[in-house]
Amino acid sequence: MRLLAWQIFLAHWGGARAEPGKFWHITHLHLDPHYKVSKYPFQVCPSAGFQSVPNAGPWGDYLCDSPWALINSSIYAMKEIEPEPDFILWTGDDMPHVPDEKLGEAAVLEIVECLTQLIREVFLGAFYSEKLPGPSGAGQIVLTADMVDPGQQFQWLEDVLTNASKAGDMVYIVGNMPPGFFEKTQNKVWSQEGFNEKYLKVVQKHGCVIAGQFFRHHHTDSFQMLYDDAGQLPAPSLLLSPDPLCAPISAMFITPGVTPWKTTLPGVINGANNPAIPVFEYDRATLSLKDMVTYFMNLSQVNAQGMRRWELQYQLTKAYWVPDTSAHSVQAVLDRIAGDQGALQHYYVYNSVSYYAGVCDEAARVDVDAYTTCLYLPLLLMALLGLCTLVL
Ligand SMILES: *[C@@H]1O[C@H](CO)[C@@H](O)[C@H](O)[C@H]1NC(C)=O
Ligand SMILES: *[C@@H]1O[C@H](CO)[C@@H](O)[C@H](O)[C@H]1NC(C)=O
Ligand SMILES: *[C@@H]1O[C@H](CO)[C@@H](O)[C@H](O)[C@H]1NC(C)=O
Ligand SMILES: [Zn+2]
């Protein structure tokens, strides 16, 4: 079950205006209120379905959604690491993975209430808003729901972006299901037919006012680059290197989730992740993105040691040797991942937030059968579909 509302907390802290601003993006909390450390492996958590959960620990289990202790710990860790963000993007998916009929509206509202209370308690004074703190108050966050369009969302998005461009505003687009493919399954496209292209066209048309795109849904750490196709369909090989006909216009960050829950999506092997909380650094005046830093909890380790610990997973600029996280820099990251085995390996490990640290080797990279373990084929599939979008 999906949470309908999107929440953004905006706080007054601010600080010196010339300093870069920070914001957290937390997502996929997926609270399982009935999680308990039980010696009976079928009684640990309803979110594991019919799977046996041996050795469950106090901070959670890779087969289960988040216990309260994990979510509580993630919010407190955010407060310790970056206590004064300008805002927090909290983009939902808060319910356990259980059949809808086992949840019901009252339970959903209760979960949202508990989580809201926790965040407000820890980040004192937070409130809802959708204006960003720019010098002129000019920034905007645009929220798009899933890629279905009963309410003419595409037209609305076009209008917002057109208005923003007239007013000289910059915009962040925040959405749930990203266009393109899920990097861990063959042919898994979330959006309805035609919406991939439609979304891409909007971004191509209004790229210059889009300062960032933040999506999620995969629970994994990934990003996509959207290109200006200049009317030309790229050959697969062109996607591997920057092409003047295919200029990068906007990077989309697909942020990992707090829940470690191993996906049950058919065809995905070993699709769990460690809990992660990413924080972004941005220029308050222009909204241009400076960096992304992801912190994580090594779930197996904290369970074994019995103490909570959040540690640095990686800082994007340092991990990939780029000056910032602008579209151009993210393109440089993609080039590096495409051309350098070390960078590809880093990406591969970060993708599951160090849950799975196997080797993504050169042979597997081009092997269609290894697609599900090596995350790389979407790029080719995308090209075959004639879309100028690189998915990693
Ligand atoms: C939440 O985390 C804080 C900080 O670690 C801790 O002091 C508190 O006891 C935790 N509360 C619950 C209910 O786990
Ligand atoms: C765009 O601007 C026009 C004119 O000010 C306004 O009527 C319209 O509501 C705006 N559209 C959106 C989606 O903000
Ligand atoms: C996480 O903890 C496990 C178990 O202690 C350990 O084997 C693994 O190397 C750790 N991973 C990271 C990235 O620290
Ligand atoms: Zn989710």
What integer pLDDT is reported at residue 341 of this predicted model?
84
What integer pLDDT is reported at residue 184 of this predicted model?
66
Give the CATH number for residue 15: 3.60.21
Q: Determine which residue's CA is closest to atom 1 belonging to ligand 1.
A: 72
Q: What is the pLDDT of residues 261-280, one digit of tens each?
A: 998 877 777 789 999 999 99
* DSSP E strands, the chain: 7-10, 21-26, 87-90, 127-128, 140-143, 171-174, 210-215, 222-228, 247-254, 276-282, 289-296, 311-315, 389-391
What integer pLDDT is reported at residue 179 of this predicted model?
73
Q: Which atom of ligand 1 is nearest to the CA of 308?
A: 5
Domain contains 110:
yes
Q: What is the pLDDT of residues 319-373, one digit of tens each?
A: 999 999 998 899 888 888 878 888 888 988 998 999 988 887 654 443 333 333 3
Domain contains 216:
yes
DSSP secondary structure string, 285-331? TT--EEEEEEEE--HHHHHHHTS---EEEEEHHHHHT-SS-SHHHHH
What integer pLDDT is reported at residue 185 of this predicted model?
64
What distance in Å separates the CA atoms of residue 304 and residue 299, rounded to the nearest whole number? 8
Domain contains 288:
yes
Taking 60 as the threshold, does the pLDDT of residue 86 lie above it?
yes
Query: What is the DSSP-derived secondary structure letter of residue 251?
Result: E
Q: What is the pLDDT of residues 105-127, one digit of tens each?
A: 899 999 999 999 999 899 976 55
Q: Does ligand 2 have an atom closer than 6 angstroms to the CB of 31?
A: no
Confidence of residue 67 (pLDDT cuts 50, 70, 90): very high
What integer pLDDT is reported at residue 144 of this predicted model?
54
Domain contains 88:
yes
Question: Strand pairing partners for 140?
Answer: 131, 171
Domain contains 1:
no
Residue to probe by mutation, ligand 3, list 55, 296, 297, 301, most atoms within 8 Å of CB: 301
What integer pLDDT is reported at residue 311 of this predicted model?
97
Q: Does ligand 3 have an atom closer than 6 angstroms to the CB of 354?
A: yes
What integer pLDDT is reported at residue 42 of this predicted model?
97
Contact 253, 279 (CB under 8 A): no
Domain contains 3:
no
Q: Does ligand 2 have an atom closer than 6 angstroms to the CB of 163?
A: yes
Identify which ligand lies nearest to the alpha carbon of 161. 2
What integer pLDDT is reported at residue 388 of this predicted model?
29
Identify which ligand lies nearest to the alpha carbon of 70. 1
Mean pLDDT of the chain: 78
Cβ-in-10-Å burial (0-12, 13-18, 19+) of 206 comes to buried
Domain contains 241:
yes
Calculate helix-pair angle for 327-339, 341-351, nearest 10 degrees: 110
Q: Greater confidence, 126 or 153? A: 153
Q: What is the pLDDT of residues 230-260, one digit of tens each?
A: 544 343 333 444 444 557 888 889 899 999 9
Closest alpha carbon to 5 in 111, 105, 145: 145
What distance in Å separates the CA atoms of residue 170 and residue 139, rounded to the nearest whole number? 5
Domain contains 2:
no
Q: Does ligand 1 have an atom closer than 6 angstroms to the CB of 220?
A: no
Domain limits for position 153: 8-391
Structural domain count, the chain: 1
Confidence of residue 180 (pLDDT cuts 50, 70, 90): low
Residue to probe by mutation, ligand 2, list 159, 162, 165, 171, most atoms within 8 Å of CB: 159
- 368-384 average pLDDT score: 35
Q: Is 93 left (phi over 0), alpha (psi -120 to 50) or beta?
A: left
Determine the distance separating the centroid of ligand 2 and the alpha carbon of 349, expressed in angstroms.
Answer: 44
What integer pLDDT is reported at residue 136 of this predicted model?
42
Q: Determine which residue's CA is closest to atom 1 belonging to ligand 2.
A: 163
Percentage of residues in the chain having pLDDT higher than 70? 72
